[in-house]
Structure 1
Amino acid sequence: MGKPTKHEPVKLVIGLIGKAELFNVAEKLLCRRFGALDFESRIIDFTFTDYYEAKMGSGLKRKFLSFQRKIIPDRLPRIKLYTNALEKKYFSLKGKRFLNIDPGYLTLSKLVLATTKDHQHRLYLGKGIFAEITLRFRDKTFRKWEWTYPDYCTEEYIAIFNHIRNTFLRPGKGKSDE
């Protein structure tokens, strides 16, 4: 019989999609809650889908953030509910959302993203939140699955997550928020 063990702390990663001028406000709110950043990507054109355009307009951008302080993975549902509340309070008006804030976490072996949408490859975490393993680390790099979003399959995104993984490997970097 297996013995339950406590999960090691993981790296909080948050993706932003929206108008670039909103990113600084979101970063300040997120840092107030989760602490200092240890990585922020450059602003990337988001051209992989028109899914967000009806509510957010065209010319959308993407940015990724990671935080010095590690988290315990079972906090992911609360973090997703918090980012949803931020979207509603600060980045929505009359049913239109202007910024998408997607939290997840990174371990040495995978990138996990939180979502409110169920699908065959997603697991229910509680509080209306699901998670999927979006990327796996194999043969010295992150690799996609058949369900991985197209933008997460690009060399640029893979390089970003490999870089964040390397910051996670550095000893003594980022205490857990236990």
Structure 2
Amino acid sequence: MNKIGMFFGTETGTTRLVAKKLHKLLGADIADKPVNVNRIQPEELLQYDALVLGTPSYGEGDIPGLSAGCLERNWEEFLVQFGSPDLSGKRIAMFGLGAQERYSERFASSLIALYKVFEGLGAEMIGDWPLDGYTFEHSASVQDGRFVGLVIDQRTQGMYTDERLAAWAAQVKPLLMEKLAVEA
């Protein structure tokens, strides 16, 4: 597929909102519209070599899904269908949502759980993000002093969302587009 695939899981609609804003920043000419993973089959995600994946945070850093307390299917249920395909050659940037004041001891920790799944299947993971401007006790999504992907706290730092999305989009867009150029 000669576009960037965008997929997300959501419970309250906030991850969907962030994905739509990010899609607008990347541009419809190079990125397909974001789609909820509870509405697709694995083949639909697998057709892309460049992907942006988004997730809310649930539980104690669990992959969001019914067993983590979600009311509808999410990443957990999608991954059961997904299985263990070889994702070598795919490049993935991820973003995650969290609430740093309410869940300071496990801020945005679901991001790392999903990140590890895709990294473990051989995907090249890009798009790490600095910790500057966040206040929290612990996040499992921090590796080597940076978040493994963009982290958005729409609840208490919504005023920074657009700025963070724009900076992250500028960071990951050229790296994702490299995968499109290889295909062309």
TM over 0.5: no
Higher helix share: 2
Higher strand share: 1
TM superposition score normalised by structure 1: 0.33
TM superposition score normalised by structure 2: 0.32
